[in-house]
Structure 1
Amino acid sequence: MRRIAVFNQKGGVGKTTSVLNLAAAMLSQKQSPLLIDMDPQCHLTEILSDGLPSSQRSLFGFYQNNTPLDELTTPWNDAGLLIPGHRELVKVDSIFGKGPTILNRLRSGLDALEKKINLDCILLDCCPYLGVLSLNAVFAADLIIVPIASDFLSLQGAQKVEKTLKALENVLKRRVPRRYLLTCYDRRRSMTFEVEKLARQYFAHELCQTVISENVAVAESPQVKQDIFHYSPQAKGAHDYMALLQELSKIELSEELDPAVHVDLTKRSSISS
């Protein structure tokens, strides 16, 4: 079973959208995903449920009361499972600190969950800042996806994520495989292609070949509480996320990936638009 964390320290890059639609792509292929909303903003939970549960019936209950994760699951779309988030998750950092026990809490919880529920994949929708929750996801994941909206600031944010992941290698005693994903890919803007070129130089083979095109249907679907495959299955966004699923399925997670050749993006003064 794969555990995929979707994380970027910058918001608005398509993190929750990618979790939602990757899971929907899996469902369309008869796979069984579990989504975990680790963001106190709870956007994923609001899309997939009728309202926020009590804090004790959310992921916060796992951290506060050590409630087993399998007792917190709720169905969505009659096939997948969701562990909902709650705004109380914002308190996790201040309540529990950052010791090794709390940083490995989610990994231990998922180990126990996998013994009780048969799943093909666990998707972790991380909060857009580096704290206990995001570190829990990184420590638990065997693959990290970093969405990059096709603009210069998002690319800088992804560079910071890479530096963070490299700094954690001594703690984790391993190099977590990761893929960087271009989202909001607008072929009408020259900046899109400049960002793609720089990302290819910086991340090399760890940049996904698949891009998620700027697509109205993808942006509209969360408003009606649907993924792209239910809202508009023929849209470009649906084809993009299915292609992404197929690309990710070919990654050998036991492979030790070679570091990419890096370019210092902070030295560039501007990008043409």
Structure 2
Amino acid sequence: MVVANQKGGVGKTTTTVNLAASLALHGNRVLVVDLDPQGNASTALGIDHHAEVPSIYDVLVESKPLSDVVVPVADVEGLFCAPATIDLAGAEIELVSLVARESRLQRAIEGYEQPLDYVLIDCPPSLGLLTVNALVAGAEVVIPIQCEYYALEGLGQLLKNVDLVRAHLNPQLHVSTILLTMYDGRTRLAAQVAEEVRTHFGKEVLRTSIPRSVRISEAPSYGQTVLTYDPGSSGALSYLEAAREMALRGLPANVAVEYDPEHVEQRQEHNPHSMSEGIQ
């Protein structure tokens, strides 16, 4: 799944890491690929990503195997991360002269031999070669849209790029999920934006929206997702429900699944790194 929106500040990274943690807490093996040179997804997962750390840059530019840079996330069992370093900032230029420049990430993921249920790719807020690599490697595009004024601004170009990649490089690519973020139920604007997005995109929009939440904003500064920082918060519960909704969408219509919240709670209780206790 490619989490993309070239508009900055819409919750791409927040959505990537919290959906990934939610899917892992549901018992899946999940890999987060951090393609943003700022490395915010790596930070939020508590992964060291200073300049000397083996990173996704080495995979894309130096053709290093993905397994050499993937590290487990300490806080969440079954969650892994391929970190980004600041070297990625120059990768856009370095990739231009390389053979098969658009499909280097795809080849790296295909060559990764460890079993995985989900791969979530966090894209930079641009439509350059890094994002193209993500779109070529992915099967689905997840677009977070913030419930603010100008929410749909610039989305047309992203959708056009998805169509171009599907036509020329990756026929299976499609926009599967729209997630409403930063939803403030107290404002008429949020409700209007949500209605406009649902009218425009229809069934791709998840029923679950992510509320504007201090806990979600605070969690990365502790090197955690909101799922481990404050498991009982509205933000954590919303991401768990959004992940469940996405997972159920991917199943055949005739498969019934029982959702066991106790299983999720047990996985959270076994997490020795949780800082949620004592934080009110």
Provide the TM-score with structure 1 as the length reference.
0.85
Q: Counterpart of 1:15?
A: 12
Query: 1:224-269: per-residue Cα shift (whole Å, max 9, x none)?
Result: 11111211111111111111111111224899xxxxxxxxxxxxxx
> Which of 207, 215, 226 is the matching residue for 1:217?
215
> Cα RMSD (Å) of the superposition?
2.1
> Which of 178, 189, 192 is the matching residue for 2:190?
192
Q: Counterpart of 1:71?
A: 68
Q: Counterpart of 1:269?
A: none
Divergent runs of 4+, >6 A: none
Q: Counterpart of 1:168?
A: 165
Q: Which has the higher helix share?
A: 1
Query: Which secondary structure state, in structure 2, belongs to the residue aligned with residue 154 of structure 1?
Result: coil
1:87 lines up with 2:86 in the alignment: yes
Matches within 5 A, 1:1-273: 4-49=1-46, 51-54=48-51, 57-77=54-74, 79=77, 80-97=79-96, 101-113=100-112, 116-171=113-168, 172-252=170-250
Query: 1:162-199: per-residue Cα shift (whole Å, max 9, x none)?
Result: 23222333213345242111100001111111111211
Query: Which secondary structure state, in structure 1, belongs to the residue aligned with residue 27 of structure 2?
Result: coil
TM-superposed CA distance for 1:96, in Å, is: 1.9
Residue segments in structure 2 that go unaligned for 5+ positions in a row: 254-280
TM-superposed CA distance for 1:160, in Å, is: 3.0
Q: 1:63 to 1:204 in 2, by over 3 A?
A: same
Q: 1:152 to 1:200 in 2, by over 3 A?
A: same
Query: Which secondary structure state, in structure 2, belongs to the residue aligned with residue 147 of structure 1?
Result: strand
Query: 1:143-172: per-residue Cα shift (whole Å, max 9, x none)?
Result: 111101111323223333223222333213
Q: 1:185 to 1:204 in 2, by over 3 A?
A: same
Is the Cα–Cα contact under 8 Å of residues 184 and 213 in structure 1 kept in the other structure?
yes
Q: Distance in 2 between matches of 1:27 and 1:90?
A: 29
Q: Distance in 1 between matches of 2:150 and 2:99?
A: 32
Q: Distance in 1 between matches of 2:49 and 2:119?
A: 21
TM-superposed CA distance for 1:99, in Å, is: 7.6
Is the Cα–Cα contact under 8 Å of residues 106 and 137 in structure 1 kept in the other structure?
yes
Provide the TM-score with structure 2 as the length reference.
0.83
Q: Distance in 2 between matches of 1:117 and 1:252?
A: 21
